[in-house]
Amino acid sequence: ETGVTQTPRHLVMGMTNKKSLKCEQHLGHNAMYWYKQSAKKPLELMFVYNFKEQTENNSVPSRFSPECPNSSHLFLHLHTLQPEDSALYLCASSQDRQGNQPQHFGDGTRLSIL
Amino acid sequence: AQSVSQHNHHVILSEAASLELGCNYSYGGTVNLFWYVQYPGQHLQLLLKYFSGDPLVKGIKGFEAEFIKSKFSFNLRKPSVQWSDTAEYFCAVNAEAAGNKLTFGGGTRVLVKP
């Protein structure tokens, strides 16, 4: 049990669909993150939220839209994705954005774009 | 570009053999260093971390890592591996110079043969 829960675990969608990924953390953390893990590439940071405010957008295309309604929940809204967006999307949380805080990861959502 | 490098993509070894995984980074200044492990079918979890003090840090499951500042390295070691150490290992660096973004290496897949 990681304390960070992601749903769904798997998602298959067409390029014109709209879907959302959900992340919930039960650790009382204040910072939350979205990462993309593609085959043969390092984990890529996408977005960072600290105390519900977005503090980092790592040049992510606008077809990915994050939302953080509170410190425990993080969403990633998906719209008109491309085949190259197929990947494992990981959510993580940490106590805060200080550099020495380890991040706790969820199991990820494996996304396949048809 | 500044980065985190893990030199070995795949390592295969037998039980009781010693393991050393290399990690080098290119950031100057203050860094916080982490090793994460991902066992088959499981989420990323923290193995150990370094942010100050003794450069030789001990983590869970008998792992240790040594921070050598002059070499920009943070190599992971285990004197005697077990079959259950089969996993993918990720080095990660949080650097002030990179705006405190956690940057991951490409990962090393370790297969321990029984």
Q: What is the distance in angstroms between the Cα of A106 and the nearest Cα belonging to chain B?
A: 6
C-alpha closest to that of A85 among A25, A3, A13, A2: A13
User: Is the separation of the CB atoms in A92 and A106 below 8 Å?
Assistant: yes
Contacts of A50 in chain B (CB under 8 A): none
Using CB atoms, pick whichever of A92, A99, A105 lies closest to residue B100: A99
pLDDT bucket at B1, cuts 50 / 70 / 90: low
Q: Which residue has the higher pLDDT, A2 or B81?
A: B81
Subunit contact B107:A108, Cβ cutoff 8 A: no
pLDDT at B10: 95
Q: What's chain A's Rg over C-alpha atoms?
A: 13
What is the average pLDDT across B14-23? 97
- In the predicted structure, residue B2 carries a pLDDT above the cut 70: no
Per DSSP, what are the bridge partners of residue A63? none
What is the average pLDDT across B30-47? 94
Can you list the alpha helix ranges (DSSP code H) found in A1-114? Answer: none
| Per-chain mean pLDDT for chain B | 94
Subunit contact A100:B42, Cβ cutoff 8 A: no
Q: Kindly report, residue by residue over A19-70, the tens digit of the pLDDT.
A: 999 999 999 999 999 999 998 788 999 999 999 999 988 889 999 999 999 9
State how far the Cα of A46 lies from the Cα of B82, in Å rounded to an integer: 35
What is the average pLDDT across A81-104? 92
Using CB atoms, pick whichever of A41, A103, A104 lies closest to residue B102: A103
State how far the Cα of A11 lies from the Cα of A8, in Å rounded to an integer: 7
Phi, psi of B59 (to 5 degrees): -120, -160
% residues pLDDT > 70 (chain A): 99
| Per-chain mean pLDDT for chain A | 93
| Environment class of B1 (CB within 10 Å of its CB; exposed 0-12, middle 13-18, buried 19+) | exposed
State how far the Cα of B3 lies from the Cα of B55, in Å rounded to an integer: 21
Contacts of B51 in chain A (CB under 8 A): 99-100
C-alpha closest to that of B76 among B14, B26, B11, B3: B11
Using CB atoms, pick whichever of A42, A90, A98 lies closest to residue B44: A90
Q: Kindly report, residue by residue over B48-74, the tens digit of the pLDDT.
A: 999 999 999 999 999 999 999 999 999
